[in-house]
Structures are given as C-alpha cells and as structure tokens.
C-alpha cells in the first residue's frame, strides 16, 4: 500500500476533528460568510468569481474544512458553495459545516407567517436542513451546528430531532455554537443516556482580546471531548496597525465588535510589536495565539482575497513561546467574573486570575494551612461520561466512583494534606488517574507569574527530586511550549544565528550513572540492602523468575537461582578483574550468554559468581511490560518517582508502598515521557483488539492529561478510525505478537539507571566500541568488512587509492564539479564550457553530453534512483535530464540570478534549487515544474543539501551563515553564524553530520542535531575560489577536499589526522571531489586544468 504523499504546505497536515469525531480536517477552517452579494454593503464585496478563486486556492492547497450557515448572505453562501462543489466534483473530499436556528425565510416560501422560521425546534430544524441540502447540492451535511441556544426548545426535543437527522444519513456530526456550557453538558448527557450522537465541536468567539470562553467553554470542551472552532480569532477586523485603521475607516464593513475599544488597542500594540519582531503580520500572531492555547482549536478564517488566505495559511508555521503568550495576556488583565472573582479575589479584588487555579489559591482555604492540590479544572479532565464494560484490569483505568462526601480529587487532596512536607519540598509531582499537577507553595502562590486557560495543556517538565528550588519556584518554571507536527512536528522552534562554537541545542542526552571501577553497588533498584550479617552485593539476591536482560529461547527461563536470606557467594579472587569491576564484568557476561542462547551457562555463572543479572524490581518491571500487565508496570514506575515512600499509584494507599519494588532511575528520567510510551503501547494493543471504547478511554483519560508529545497524541487519535488491517502500517507498529513490547522495554530502560538494568546487548555494544576504536586508529581503513576480534587491526597503505589512473579531458574549459551516481556506475561532470558530461565508470566512455546551457554549469545532482540528473547553470536556469534517454524533462527558468546548486527530495519526485537571487534563493519544485514552496528570506545561497532521511534542508549563504530548515514544515530550525563564507555543504549518509567548507581554508564537521562543531580540518589552500569538500571511503571514514595548490587533501574523519596529500592536477584549483559510493577504491577530482582525474587503489 502506497504511503500518503508528503505535505507541501502546512494546510495539508490534517487533524482529527476532535476526540469525539474521527473525521479529518485541515488545521484552519475557511469561513464562507463573505461569499455572496446580499450583505456586501455591510461586509464588503466578494462576488462569485472571486469566491470561487478563493475556494479553488483553498482546495488546491489541501484545505477541506469550510464553514457556512443557512442565513449567510441570505442563503447565497450555501448556494455558491454548492455550485462550486458540483462544478469541481469534490463534494466527498470536503467537510462542510452549516448551521440552523437563525431566522431566515427561503426564497421558495411566502413568509407571511414567519414565527417558525427560527429557533431550535424540530419544525425549523427539518425545514432548514432540507433547504441547506438543496442549496449545497448534497445528500448530507458533514457538521450541523445549533447556531445559538433559543432558551425555549427543550433538550430532549433538540437531541431527538438531531438524532433523527443523523440516523437518516442527512447529518454526520453535531456542533454547538454561541451556547452556555451547561446546555452542552446537559445535552450530551441526555444523548449518552439514550444512545444518541453527541456534540463533537463547539464554535465561539475567541481571540487574544476576547477570552471569555476560557472561563467555562474551553474547560467544558476538554471535558466533553469537543474541539473548538474559533471565529473572530483575527480580531474581527480590529487587529490592525494604526495606519491600517485610518486607511479602512469609513468603509462601513461589518464588525462584530464595531470600533476597537481601548482594551483591544492595548492588545493590538503587543501583537504588532511581536509581529515586527518575528517578521510577520499582526493577524498571524493572533492566529498562532489561539492555536497555542489548546490542542483542538481551529481558527475560522474569513477572507475576500486569495492573498488574505495565503497569509492565513502561512501563519500556520508561526510558533509563539510561553513568554510571547504571557506578554499578550498581560496587555489587558483578564476579568474572571463571578464566581471566580469571589473565590479567588476575596481579600484582593485586584489579584490577577489564571486558569490553573488550585485549592491553595483560595484565600479562605489557605488561611487554614497548607494543602497540596491540583488544578480545579483537572477535576473535569478525568470524568468519563461513558465507561465500556470491556474495561478491566490492564485496560483503561476506570474513574473512581464518587460518593456524596468527597470526589476522588477531593479525597486525593485530603490524603495529600497529611503528607510530610518533604514530599512537596522535593518537587515531586502528584500522580492521580494519569494526570499530573505540580505542588504549589501556598505562601507564594499569589505572587507567581500566572498561567491562563488551557496553558495547562502545555507540557511541564518533571521536577528534579534532588532540586529543592523546583518546588519553591512553582510549576511555571518548568513549562515548555507545544511543538506540533502532525506525524512529525510542523510548528518548529524559531531560531536565530548563533556564533561559531555553536552552543548545543537542547537535545536531551541520557547520563549513564555507572559506578567507577572497583566500586560496589549500594542499592538494589529501589530495595534496601538486606543481608544476614554478610557484606554482599545487593544484586547477589535472587531475582524474580521469568526475567532476563537479554534474549532467550523462552520468556520463562529463570534468571538464576534464589539465595537464602539475601546472601550470596563471596568471590575469593578479589573485587577486580584486570582493573575492571568484577561484578560489572560478570553481569555483562551473564547477559551476553543469554543473548547467545546459552541459558544453562548463564545460570551456572549466576550460581558460581553469586551475582544476579537484575534486581527483583527490574525483573518485576520487565515481566509486567512483556506480559502486558500495564497496571503493575505503571505502579512500579510511578512509585519509582517517589523515593521518599509517598506514592499516588493505585494500591499504595494501604501503607505498604515502602515495601513495593521501585526502580532506580537515570538522572534525566522524565515521568511523563515514560508513562506516555507505556500507555501508547496499551492504546495500540486495545485498538488491534478492536476494543475501541477502552482505547478511547486510554486516549482521553490517560494519554491526553500527560500533556506530552501533542503531535503524536493527534496521530494516535486518528488511528481510532483506522481499519484493523491497516493499523500496523499506519502506526508504524508491529503489534503485541511482534517485538513491540521488547522495543518498549528497551526504550524505557534508557530512563533506568544502567547500574541496575544493564542496557540490552551490552557485551555486543562494547565489542562494537572495540572494533570502531580500531577502525578509528587505522589511517587507511577503507573497507566495509569489520575487523576481527582475534587480532589488532591495521590496513595496508597500498590498498588505498593513491594514484590517478585515468585522466579524462573531454571538457574544453575548467571542470567545476563532479559527482558519482548512487550506484557508482556513472559519473557526471559540470564545466565552464557550458556542458555536462555523463561517463560510464566501467569503461569511462561518454554516455551523454548535454550542451543546452548558455553559460557555465556549476553543479549537478543525481536523483535517488539515478534515472534523472539536475544541472545548475549561471544562465539562471536549472535543467532536469533523463539519463537513460538523454531527453530534457524540465527547465526551471524562474530565477533571476545564477542557479548555484540543487538537491533532490528523498522520494525523487521533487527537488530544491539554490540561487543567488534574493527574491527566490531556495525553491521547492515538482517534476511538473510547479513551485511547491519558496522559502522567505533575502539572502543568496551558495550551496544546499537535503539530508538522506528527508527531514532537513540545509543551505549555505554568501553572508557567512548556514540555515537548517525542517523540510516538511519549511520552518527554520536554526541558523549558524560562521567566521568565514561557506563554499559548500555536504551531509553524511546517516543524516547526522554536515561538512561545511569555509573560504578561509577550514572545513568543519558539525552535528546537525546539536550544532556542535565536532572537528575542524585544516591544511588545504583556499581563499578565492569555490571548493566543494565531501565525505569519502567505504564508511565515510575520510574527509576529502580539493585545494588551490592543485592538490587533493584527505583527512581521517574520526581523529582529524591528515592521511595523504595527493598530486594529480597540472595547475590551477581542484574544485570538487566525489568518492564512488559503490567502489571505495575509486574517487574523482575536477580541476581548472580541464582534467577529470580518477584515483584508484588498483
């Protein structure tokens, strides 16, 4: 089955509408209120032709979510939308939302008695839906909104009427707009009790200047599983600069807020400042604001021109920081209103309000003493309106039954109030029903930086239990913003140039807390050392059976024999083994024997040495994971984050928590991350078993409250509608019968101290290190064959390509570039003589000579399948050639300056061109010549490369910078500032490193993830001309570069040693080098002497 094509713009990152509705929609909803002529005096003109242009562009860019209503433009909006869908034949591709309730008399009716042409009653409902279906030229409506609550129709009548429409297939999903939260809750509860469809989306006014929905509506949506469609997100026309307001004054266009108030203008000032800072528009910042606040928010965007729509689509890539959100919200204090004003502002009416209020924030409560509590709105986050009967042990944890005296949260609060102060001061988070809440200090809660509405949706880092300041500073110090990509992140971190030296980006690295040589462990993965007077290693105690850190033929193989009273045999040969810790060596050998399948030998070594591979806690955790005992695994994991004996895990309230097994965790262990991985596996297994109700409970009650990896959470929610036969492919998961549980355990083990849970296959890893070290020390290692363990390794210099065996002089001028095809059978060269030549590397005969360019050709690039070749020329054109036929497939003549380089996308169906053109420095093209995307930024690009994994685009400009972009989302991840102009950039085959050649005569090897300069290579002569260095050798062990002194320089990549300086060219500069990827004994060099040299080891 073919995989979905890669999105070409942010609008194509589709999302599941809501936790309660599986239909996929584009991330913004196009409002159709402007489409029509009936209201043009109030709203401005948007005729049919222009409306269709907007709809066409929205559709072509991948948009499928459109909103209208029966009353918009007196019905013309629906009519035009229906005509457009009929003419385009795309009705089933679109998700159309319309509304009923609002008064409107159809043209086909006399309207003499008009009293029933409005309201929520069944008569109006049926009439409006029939008329809307006629106008839309459709047999169904995707989403039908109740436009507003009429305060008269009963909920039973409304829900029965809506249920009839859904049952008849006329409506698919239900929405509510402009309605009190209690009505939606009551209606959904009625629907659940009667088996009717529930509301799955709410539409309301929401913007940075109007946040009323944060009091009741958004918390209700989260509790009920509704998404939120926000109209007025762009300020209803009021988010404009002063100049724009003066220019638009007097045009009389409809605005729900009329003239901008003083409060709105204060917000506009902040939006304008942020927009200038980020180089974007006010409306883009406003849209990014509402999308930041909650994971299921869809801005409803109205426009009258295609350019306005383009701006809204581009705004999807803008990401705001927590500090940006704080600045926007501090512009105008948010008025909480009653009852919040009474409860939280009892002593101080001016005290600021924030959404994540806790019991400790209530003045009348905190007067009585300290109470450890959770957010008041978290009370709603775990209520479940529906509990599948299939939910059982190791299925989704069902909500605890409440009694009249106290809710589960209240009982948690009462229990935590009696907890010792140290449990809070250590910064430990509470865990209840899968949610987290940071402890708050009552004495400082009033003065903290305040958080708003759904800011609790943003992930919070787990506090370090060893850092007492974490609790003092409050949870606000640990917040991180959401980074969103549907199936991979499309809201990337904005970044700015960093000075050379390149400080590392915040890539999380796990620290291995291994003991020094000779030091004996003093813990047993959470168990106190118990011995009967004997000084024994804690890991000498028996492990729970059926567990082993390695593979065996059976999961039930015992991991050693138990020892009485926790004692073990004491080795008489001393604690060290040739300077190594004897226990560590022995345990690694035991694991290695299990890996090799020698289980009896492993058990024998365990008995003889007295050392166990794992502690009982690790063994219990391993068995729980491999057997799918998710509740037990979670209990062990949660207890492990509460080293003081306190725990919120189920079953720990009986006072026995201190006797239960606990893991010793790595320094950087993240509780939410570990729980997310575990619950994700649980969710996927329930999906495969088609227990959709239980899977939905896991998604809503266990995964969502973690506020971790929101893009992955969206991807998981989309799997609810995935057929069972496609689940493995869509999820990238092989099921519980495959090695998925073993991989989960391996991933979780990274967060467990290696001193108690040895990383998988540790012996093999150490042997790999030995081999790699020998390779690194071997200057001439140029073979894919791994060295033997029996002897020290050293390659013969005579086997290295040191001689130029073939000189090709087909070009009549300087040769500027050369590149082997990926399969090594062809070699392409680019020359100042305006031509490109393709050679057969077996005979070095000319296969093709392309002479269509009018100026020198600077660069060529092979497609991943070697069937196509791009040539980039100073004639400002790029041509794509079919190498098999010699035919020109495409000519790109968009650039107004020389095209300097090109790079193919991983799928081979599109490519990027780089140019010195300030207006189009980087362009992404399809093979049909369509410009898929043009990166903004006024800079000239000298070279570019796409990482082999297709994730990133790297561009080197002439202004001493290297830009790194997310290729899928087009967002710039970071920009490196260099001390010299870069002349080339090359990416390693594993996509981990880039090689940047600098004009000052230096080559830098840079880690793409961390931006760290790993190594610098010097020696070649460079200054005036463009020289392109590259990786070389069988495993890219070498860095090779030309030079202005007519020589070729080869360094060892790992140790930086200059291996060889080769002669070969008669005079001039050696411009480029290419190493044959299929034959490590061959490389080619291109020089100013018109000669192409091929060096070989033969």
- In the chain, the domains with their CATH numbers are 13-105+115-246+260-331 (3.20.20.100), 339-377 (no CATH), 614-641+662-760 (no CATH), 816-1032 (2.130.10.10)
Phi, psi of 1003 (to 5 degrees): -120, 130
CA-based radius of gyration for the chain: 33
The rounded distance, in Å, linking the Cα atoms of 66 and 81 is 9
Tens-digit pLDDT profile for residues 397-419: 444 333 333 433 343 434 433 33
Contact indicator for 415, 455 with CB cutoff of 8 Å: no
Burial 794-826 (b: 16+ CB within 10 A, else e): eeeeeebbeebeeebebbeebbbbbbbbeebbb
262 CB burial (10 A radius; 0-12, 13-18, 19+):
exposed
Residue 60 has pLDDT above 90, yes or no: yes
Phi, psi of 888 (to 5 degrees): -80, 120
Tens-digit pLDDT profile for residues 735-752: 777 788 888 988 898 888
Q: Which residues contact 252 (CB under 8 A, 6 or more apart)?
A: 41, 42
Share the mean pLDDT of the chain: 77
Question: How many helices (H) and strands (E) in the chain?
Answer: 28, 43
pLDDT at position 118 is 83
Asked whether the CA dihedral 906, 910, 912, 918 is positive or negative, the reply is negative
Provide the pLDDT confidence category of residue 246 given band limits of 50, 70 and 90: low
Share of the chain above pLDDT 90, in %: 38
Instruction: Provide the pairing of β-strand 961-966 with 1092-1096.
Output: unpaired
Residue 889 has pLDDT above 80, yes or no: yes
Residue 391 has pLDDT above 50, yes or no: no
The rounded distance, in Å, linking the Cα atoms of 606 and 545 is 13
Provide the pLDDT confidence category of residue 366 given band limits of 50, 70 and 90: low
Nearest Cα neighbor of 1004 from 1024, 1020, 1018, 1023 is: 1018
Residues, the chain: 1098
pLDDT at position 398 is 40
Nearest Cα neighbor of 210 from 453, 466, 561 is: 453
Phi, psi of 82 (to 5 degrees): -65, -45
289 is known as an active-site residue: no
Q: Among 114-128, 357-371, 679-693, 1001-1015, where is mean pLDDT lowest?
A: 357-371
Give the mean pLDDT of 1068-1082: 89
Beta sheet of 941-946, edge-to-edge order: 497-498, 972-977, 961-966, 952-957, 941-946
The rounded distance, in Å, linking the Cα atoms of 956 and 976 is 9
Alpha helix segments (H runs only) across 732-817: 740-749, 762-777
The rounded distance, in Å, linking the Cα atoms of 257 and 272 is 19
Q: Among 456-465, 930-939, 969-978, where is mean pLDDT lowest?
A: 456-465
Give whichever of 662-666, 738-742, 995-999 has the largest mean pLDDT. Answer: 995-999
Residue 537 has pLDDT above 50, yes or no: no
Model confidence pTM above 0.75: no
Tens-digit pLDDT profile for residues 339-356: 777 776 665 666 666 555
Residue 1090 has pLDDT above 80, yes or no: no
More confident residue, 928 or 389: 928
| 3 state SS of 194 | helix
Q: DSSP character for 55?
A: H
Tens-digit pLDDT profile for residues 624-647: 988 899 999 999 888 888 765 454
More confident residue, 516 or 49: 49
Q: Which of 13, 72, 145, 594 is flagged as catalytic? A: 72
Share of the chain above pLDDT 70, in %: 73
| 3 state SS of 32 | coil
343 CB burial (10 A radius; 0-12, 13-18, 19+):
middle
CA 314 from chain center: how many Å? 18
DSSP notation for 448-499:
SPP--GGGGGS-BPPPPTT-THHHHH-GGGGB------TTS--SPPP--EE-
Beta bridge partners of 452: none
Nearest Cα neighbor of 1024 from 1001, 1047, 1002 is: 1001
Nearest Cα neighbor of 51 from 81, 95, 74, 25 is: 81
Provide the pLDDT confidence category of residue 240 given band limits of 50, 70 and 90: confident
Residue 322 has pLDDT above 70, yes or no: yes
Provide the pLDDT confidence category of residue 357 given band limits of 50, 70 and 90: low
pLDDT at position 898 is 95
Nearest Cα neighbor of 566 from 598, 610, 522 is: 610
The rounded distance, in Å, linking the Cα atoms of 670 and 673 is 5
Residue 431 has pLDDT above 80, yes or no: no
Q: Among 15-29, 68-82, 504-518, 798-812, where is mean pLDDT lowest?
A: 504-518
| 3 state SS of 324 | helix
The rounded distance, in Å, linking the Cα atoms of 1025 and 88 is 54
The rounded distance, in Å, linking the Cα atoms of 954 and 931 is 19
Provide the pLDDT confidence category of residue 114 given band limits of 50, 70 and 90: confident
Give whichever of 337-346, 352-361, 1007-1016, 1030-1039 has the largest mean pLDDT. Answer: 1007-1016
Contact indicator for 890, 867 with CB cutoff of 8 Å: no
The rounded distance, in Å, linking the Cα atoms of 963 and 955 is 5
Provide the pLDDT confidence category of residue 456 given band limits of 50, 70 and 90: very low
pLDDT at position 453 is 36
The rounded distance, in Å, linking the Cα atoms of 749 and 617 is 13
Phi, psi of 212 (to 5 degrees): -60, -30
Q: DSSP character for 317?
A: G
Beta bridge partners of 974: 964
Q: Which residues contact 534 (CB under 8 A, 6 or more apart)?
A: 567, 568, 570
The rounded distance, in Å, linking the Cα atoms of 4 and 93 is 15
As a three-state string, the secondary structure of 389-425 is CCCCCCCCCCCCCCCCCCCHHHHHHHHHHCCCHHHHH
pLDDT at position 259 is 55
Burial 602-631 (b: 16+ CB within 10 A, else e): bbebbeebbbbbbbbbbbbbbbbbbeebbb
Residue 1063 has pLDDT above 60, yes or no: yes
Helix, strand, coil content of the chain in percent (nearest 5): 30, 20, 50
Tens-digit pLDDT profile for residues 936-948: 877 899 999 999 9
Nearest Cα neighbor of 961 from 1009, 1022, 1006 is: 1006
């Amino acid at each position: 089955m073919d995989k979905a094509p890669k999105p070409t713009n942010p609008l194509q990152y589709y999302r599941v509408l809501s936790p309660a509705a599986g239909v996929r929609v584009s991330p913004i909803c196009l409002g159709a209120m402007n489409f029509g002529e009936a209201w043009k005096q109030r709203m401005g003109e948007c005729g049919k032709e222009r409306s269709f242009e907007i709809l066409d562009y929205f559709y072509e860019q991948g948009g499928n979510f459109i909103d209208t209503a029966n009353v918009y433009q007196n019905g013309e909006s629906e009519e035009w939308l229906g005509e457009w869908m009929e003419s385009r034949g795309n009705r089933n591709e679109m998700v159309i939302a319309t509304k009923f309730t609002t008064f409107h008399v159809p043209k086909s009716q006399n309207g003499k008695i008009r009293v029933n042409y409005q309201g929520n009653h069944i008569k109006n409902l049926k009439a409006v839906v029939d008329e809307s279906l006629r106008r839309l030229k459709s047999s169904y409506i995707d989403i039908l909104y109740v436009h507003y609550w009429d305060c008269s129709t009963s909920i039973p009548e409304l829900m029965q009427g809506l249920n009839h429409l859904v049952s008849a297939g006329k409506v698919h999903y239900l929405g509510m707009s402009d309605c009190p939260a209690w009505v939606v809750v009551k209606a959904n509860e009625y629907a659940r009790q009667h088996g009717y469809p529930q509301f799955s989306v709410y539409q309301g006014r929401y913007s940075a200047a109007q946040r009323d929905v944060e009091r009741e509506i958004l918390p209700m949506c989260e509790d009920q599983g509704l998404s939120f469609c926000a109209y007025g997100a762009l300020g209803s026309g009021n988010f404009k600069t002063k100049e724009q307001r003066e220019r638009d004054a007097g045009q009389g266009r409809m605005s729900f807020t009329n003239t901008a108030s003083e409060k709105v203008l204060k917000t506009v000032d902040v939006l304008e400042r942020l927009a200038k800072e980020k180089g974007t528009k006010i409306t883009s910042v406003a849209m990014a604001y509402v999308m930041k606040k909650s994971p299921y928010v869809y801005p409803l965007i109205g426009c009258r021109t295609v350019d306005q729509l383009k701006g809204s689509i581009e705004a999807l890539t803008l990401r705001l920081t927590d500090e940006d959100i704080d600045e926007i919200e501090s512009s105008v204090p948010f008025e909480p209103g009653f009852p919040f004003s009474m409860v939280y502002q009892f002593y101080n009416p001016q005290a600021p309000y924030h959404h994540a209020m806790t019991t400790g924030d209530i003045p009348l409560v905190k007067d009585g003493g300290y109470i450890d509590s959770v957010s008041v709105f978290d009370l709603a986050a775990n209520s479940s309106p529906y509990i599948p009967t299939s939910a059982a042990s190791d299925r989704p944890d069902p909500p605890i039954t409440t009694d009249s005296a106290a809710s589960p949260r209240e009982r948690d609060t009462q229990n935590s109030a009696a907890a010792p102060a140290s449990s809070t001061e250590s910064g430990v988070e509470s865990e209840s029903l899968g949610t987290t809440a940071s402890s708050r200090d009552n004495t400082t809660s009033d003065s903290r930086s305040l958080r708003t509405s759904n800011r609790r949706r943003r992930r919070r880092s787990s506090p370090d239990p060893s850092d007492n300041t974490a609790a003092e500073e409050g949870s606000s110090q640990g917040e991180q913003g959401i980074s969103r990509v549907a199936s991979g992140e499309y809201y990337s971190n904005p970044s700015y140039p960093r000075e050379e030296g390149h400080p590392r980006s915040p890539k999380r690295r796990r620290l291995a807390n291994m003991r020094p040589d000779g030091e004996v462990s003093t813990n047993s993965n959470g168990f106190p050392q118990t011995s009967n007077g004997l000084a024994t290693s804690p890991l000498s105690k028996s492990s729970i059976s059926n567990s082993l850190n390695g593979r065996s033929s059976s999961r039930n193989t015992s991991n050693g024999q138990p020892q009485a009273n926790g004692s073990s045999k004491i080795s008489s040969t001393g604690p060290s083994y040739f300077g190594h810790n004897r226990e560590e060596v022995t345990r690694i050998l035991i694991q290695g024997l299990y890996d090799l399948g020698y289980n009896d030998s492993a058990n024998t070594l365990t008995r003889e040495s007295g050392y166990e591979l794992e502690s009982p806690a690790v063994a219990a955790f391993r068995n729980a994971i491999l057997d799918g005992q998710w509740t037990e695994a979670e209990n062990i994991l949660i207890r492990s984050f509460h080293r003081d004996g306190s725990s919120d895990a189920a079953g720990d309230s009986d006072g026995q928590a201190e006797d239960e097994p606990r893991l010793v965790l790595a320094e950087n262990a993240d509780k939410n991350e570990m729980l997310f991985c575990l619950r994700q596996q649980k969710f996927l297994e329930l999906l495969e078993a088609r227990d959709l109700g239980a899977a939905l409970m896991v998604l809503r009650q266990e995964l969502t409250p973690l506020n971790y990896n929101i893009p992955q959470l969206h991807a998981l929610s989309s799997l609810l509608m995935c057929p069972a036969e496609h689940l493995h492919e869509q999820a990238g998961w092989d099921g519980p019968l495959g090695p998925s549980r073993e991989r989960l355990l391996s991933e979780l083990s990274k967060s467990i101290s290696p001193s108690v849970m040895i990383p998988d296959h540790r012996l093999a890893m150490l042997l790999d290190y030995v081999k790699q070290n020998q390779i690194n020390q071997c200057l001439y290692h140029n073979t894919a064959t791994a060295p033997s363990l029996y002897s020290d390794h050293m390659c013969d210099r005579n086997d290295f390509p040191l001689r130029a065996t073939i000189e090709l002089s087909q070009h009549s001028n300087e040769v500027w570039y050369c590149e082997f095809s990926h399969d090594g059978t062809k070699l392409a060269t680019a020359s100042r003589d305006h031509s490109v030549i393709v050679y057969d590397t077996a005979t070095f005969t000319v296969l093709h000579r392309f002479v269509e360019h009018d100026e020198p050709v600077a660069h060529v690039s092979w497609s991943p399948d070697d069937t196509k070749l791009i040539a980039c020329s100073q004639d400002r054109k790029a041509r794509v050639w079919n190498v098999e036929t010699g035919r020109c497939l495409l000519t790109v003549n968009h650039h107004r300056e020389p095209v300097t380089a090109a790079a193919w996308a991983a799928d081979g169906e599109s490519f990027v061109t780089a140019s010195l053109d300030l207006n189009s420095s980087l362009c992404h093209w399809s093979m049909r010549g369509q410009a898929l995307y043009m990166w903004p930024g006024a800079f000239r690009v000298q070279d570019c490369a796409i990482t082999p994994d297709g994730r990133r685009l790297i561009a080197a400009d002439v202004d001493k910078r290297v830009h790194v972009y997310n290729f899928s989302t087009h967002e710039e991840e970071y920009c490196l500032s260099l001390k010299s102009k870069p002349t080339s950039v090359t990416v390693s085959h594993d996509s981990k490193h880039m090689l940047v050649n600098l004009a000052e005569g230096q080559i830098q090897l840079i880690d793409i993830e961390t931006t760290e300069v790993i190594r610098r290579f010097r020696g070649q002569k460079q200054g005036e001309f463009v020289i392109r260095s590259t990786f070389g050798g069988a495993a890219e062990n070498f860095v090779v570069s030309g030079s202005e002194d007519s020589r070729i320089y080869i360094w060892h990549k790992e140790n930086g040693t200059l291996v060889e300086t080769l002669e070969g060219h008669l005079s001039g500069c050696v411009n480029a080098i290419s190493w044959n990827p299929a034959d490590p004994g061959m490389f080619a060099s291109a020089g100013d002497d018109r000669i192409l040299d091929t060096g070989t080891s033969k």
